Amino acid sequence: MTKLDLSRYEKMYDSFDAGHNRDHFISVRKMAVSLAKKYAPDKIKLAYIAATLHDIGLSINRENHEIEGEKLIRQDEYLKNNLSKDDFEEICHAVKEHRASTGNPETILAKIISDADRGGGTGSSAEAFIRSYNYGLKNYLDISDEEQILRAGEHQSEKFSKGSYGRRTYFPETEKRLAKIYDPIVEAYKKRDLKYLKSLVKTLVK
């Protein structure tokens, strides 16, 4: 897809949390390429590169990882020397603006990466829920299993209910995918259907 050697960036994902690991960026990259083939055939290579780089800022911190990611790219002479100035700037913009909560993607490439991060980063309701649940296990150490499940459900309901920032999409395929993945979680949380939510985290099923 590209002659650029991105291996050192790909390896970064091996040290990230389970929600942003190698499987995540590969899934995001796959969807980004798919969207580019349909909506921006001249941007397929850039979609591949930008999707590979989109979360590298996590190596600095999680809070502002999109900003840190852009900084890392701008410091990379290899990327500067092997991309045109316009392509380099487009990739920087796509990485900086990919985040659902803060991003303002203005180019077709940035919109593709933004959508791919949400629509491509997760393959099922269980995978999506477990990402949020595992984050809770790592960061909320003093709450019970049931509270962990409800916390994860609350977080995903706030982020991915219809009209929420996580459902800000630019392509119909993404909205369709998010509805399939997140609507069951949102409905279960609203009903406090712990049986269903527990079934998404199989290790908790007793």
Decide if pLDDT at 123 tops 90. no
**Reported pTM:** 0.89
Decide if pLDDT at 104 tops 50. yes
Give the model's pLDDT for residue 206: 41
Tens-place pLDDT, residues 69-86? 999 999 999 999 999 999
Position 127, amino acid: E
Give the model's pLDDT for residue 185: 97
pLDDT band for position 158 (50/70/90)?
very high
Residues 169, 118: contact at Cβ < 8 Å? yes
Arithmetic mean of pLDDT, 108-121: 90
Decide if pLDDT at 6 tops 80. yes
How far apart are alpha carbons 95 and 116 in whole angstroms?
A: 12
Averaged pLDDT score across all residues of the chain: 93
Residue 30 burial by Cβ neighbours in a 10 Å radius (0-12, 13-18, 19+): middle
Arithmetic mean of pLDDT, 144-155: 95
Decide if pLDDT at 205 tops 60. no
Say what the alpha-carbon torsion angle 136, 151, 113, 61 is, to the nearest 10 degrees: -40
pLDDT band for position 17 (50/70/90)?
confident
How far apart are alpha carbons 192 and 197 in whole angstroms?
A: 9
